[in-house]
Amino acid sequence: MKFLITGGAGYIGSHTLIALSEAGYDFVVYDNLCNSSQESLKRVSKIINKDIEFEEGDTRDKERLQEVFAKYDINAVIHFAGLKAVGESVEQPLKYYDNNVNGTLVLLDVMQEFKCKKIVFSSSATVYGDPSSTPIEENFPVGATTNPYGTSKYMIERILEDIVISDSSFQAIILRYFNPVGAHESGTIGEDPNGIPNNLMPFISQVAVGKREFLSVFGGDYDTEDGTGVRDYIHVVDLADAHVKALNYINSNKYETKNSTFNIGTGIGCSVLDMVKAFEKASGKKVPYKIVQRRAGDIAKCFADSSLAKEVLGWSASKTIEDMCIDSWRWQSNNPDGYSQSFNFKNI
């Protein structure tokens, strides 16, 4: 029995492979490497001290997926594969709907053909749009998304709900991630964004390591304690653990459709300036910043009520903002150019 991990070479996927391996689960990674490299898998393999089965392929490639499902006895899928750059999705919506939505449809079709009826899907807090209050609960309205990336996540959630209605033996878990940051404590794997990072943590890290001059803080006039945006940052290792808990749940007799969508966050709101201060403390480096205009589409505050995940999955986050900053810094300072440089494991 194996789990298929689509997008397993990426940032969250690679960390999840370690958690799966620690839990004794067997898996095969399926990835087209459009936003990752096999270097991450090599490094995970070193950490877990085991070879990783890897099948290169695209989720939209039905024949390739059929080959993989025919080769392995796949019990469940964790579906990370997707494009995630919000700005790019506004410029190229069809690319996002094709890759994310169409890719998921093809995957689901092949799963149906091979009678694989369990999936854990990577959704995002972005499906809530601008929430009317915080903390956000799973039953808050969804769908008022502000960009094609977010809409693609919402559409996939709806598709999964419809499949569950049509087939009561099909089990889907939707994990709505808040803001994943941090890296594995080894400092050998982490987030490796292409070009100029859009997200806060990789940008701060690159300022601290000297790759960028200063951080632009998008807005200092929000209705928050210090005027900057508040988010729920979650350590990627805690997030990885949520997937193990989701698989335990989906493979237990406790699974219930009414309890299958979960917020995965810490429940703690942290401002941009809080993050800057925490990162400076963790790295011992100055992070110069300038407050600039708000970024279009940003909201003031977003943090989770994750009590359902605690109650049903037995999951809660354990790592602090300090851990997130220390681990991001270790990854960034050991690998200023991400996976493009080879890593000397003898040095750790």
> What is the C-alpha separation between 202 and 185, in angstroms, rounded?
16
Dihedral sign from CA coordinates of 247, 306, 156, 158: positive
Give catalytic status of residue 149 as yes or no.
yes
Instruction: State the residue number with the nearest CB to ligand NAD.
Output: 10
State the number of binding residues for ligand NAD (CB under 6 A): 27
State how far the alpha carbon of 199 is from the alpha carbons of 67, 196, 205, 259, in Å: 36, 9, 11, 30
Given a contact cutoff of 8 angstroms between Cβ atoms, the answer to whether 111 and 121 are in contact is: no
Q: Is residue 103 close enough to count as binding ligand NAD by CB under 6 A?
A: yes
Q: How far is the CB of 96 from ligand NAD (least distance, A)?
A: 10
The residue number whose beta carbon is nearest to ligand UD1 equals 229
Which listed residue (4, 12, 20, 136) binds ligand NAD by CB under 6 A? 12
Partner from ligand NAD, ligand UD1, none contacting 122, C-beta within 5 to 8 A by type: ligand NAD
Q: How far is the CB of 65 from ligand NAD (least distance, A)?
A: 9
346 vs 348: CA distance, rounded Å: 6
- Cβ partners under 8 Å of residue 195, min gap 6: none
Chain contacts with ligand UD1 (rule: CB under 6 A):
84, 86, 124, 126, 149-150, 179, 198-200, 203, 215-218, 229, 231, 272, 295, 297-298
Task: Give the single-character DSSP code of 84.
Answer: -
Token pair listed for 76: 């469940």
Are 42 and 36 spatial neighbours (Cβ–Cβ below 8 Å)? no
Q: Please tell me the distance from the alpha carbon of residue 278 to that of residue 230, in angstroms, as a whole number.
A: 14
Q: Determine, following the binding rule CB under 6 A, whether residue 59 of this chain makes contact with ligand NAD.
A: yes
Q: Write down the least CB distance from residue 30 to ligand UD1, Å.
A: 22
In the complex, the residues that contact ligand NAD under the rule CB under 6 A are: 6-7, 9-13, 31-36, 58-60, 80-84, 99, 103, 122, 124, 177, 180
Active centre residues (catalytic): 149
